[in-house]
Chain A
Amino acid sequence: DAGVTQSPTHLIKTRGQQVTLRCSPKSGHDTVSWYQQALGQGPQFIFQYYEEEERQRGNFPDRFSGHQFPNYSSELNVNALLLGDSALYLCASSPGHNYGYTFGSGTRLTVV
């Protein structure tokens, strides 16, 4: 049974560019959350998608946006990249609004 799959694993972008990260949730999970983890820090919640709608949002600017598809997969988009956006971006899936979040291995984004 595949867990949470994220792509790509690593990415290097230039300041001002836009990036799209992708996530396939664990089988049976329909809720996807995105987290940003800076080096040496705990993950910070970006937003959560359920039934193709953004249900909760953390303290992140509008440059961060997302989407959930009918098959429950999700995308995270970041516009106008800043150096400070360099981080590990984690996707977590869960069954409905239940607990039991499963994390993917993340996408390491470097902005230069």
Chain B
Amino acid sequence: QQQVKQSPQSLIVQKGGIPIINCAYENTAFDYFPWYQQFPGKGPALLIAIRPDVSEKKEGRFTISFNKSAKQFSLHIMDSQPGDSATYFCAASRPRGKLIFGQGTELSVKP
């Protein structure tokens, strides 16, 4: 019940495309759902996060869609650029709890 399942494992898109990464969770006590971006040799950096009382959140080119009834959430990257090539992790947390990470998605944006 503590798992967060992420898909796909890897993704290749052309510049300008809209990659979509999906995550699913089981624990309904989770109330914080962030997405992190990680470049090789660096720590994860927070991109955007959502709480379960909101169905969608946009920050720049990044959008989270949240489906509370399905216990799923996804990340959309609009107008993707080669500089977006990185590993993306979804995560979930209970109040005052630890972050539970998905397995990660390696995104490659081709010029």
Give chain A's interface residues, CB within 8 Å of chain B.
4, 33, 35, 40-45, 48, 56, 58, 90, 92, 97, 99-106, 108
Inside 8 A of A4's CB, which chain B residues have their CB?
A: 43
What DSSP secondary structure best describes chain B's contact surface? strand
With A97-B96, A99-B32, A99-B93 known to touch, is A42 a contact of B102 (CB < 8 Å)? yes
Binding site for A on B (CB under 8 A): 6, 32, 34, 36, 41-46, 49, 89, 91, 93, 95-104
Residues of A within 8 A of B95 (CB): 97
Task: Tell me how many residue pairs across A and B have CB atoms closer than 8 Å.
Answer: 52
* Nearest CB of chain B from residue A50's CB, rounded to whole Å: 9
Q: How far is the CA of A20 from the CA of B74 in the complex (A)?
A: 37
Question: Do residues B43 and A42 form an inter-chain contact, with CB atoms below 8 A?
Answer: no
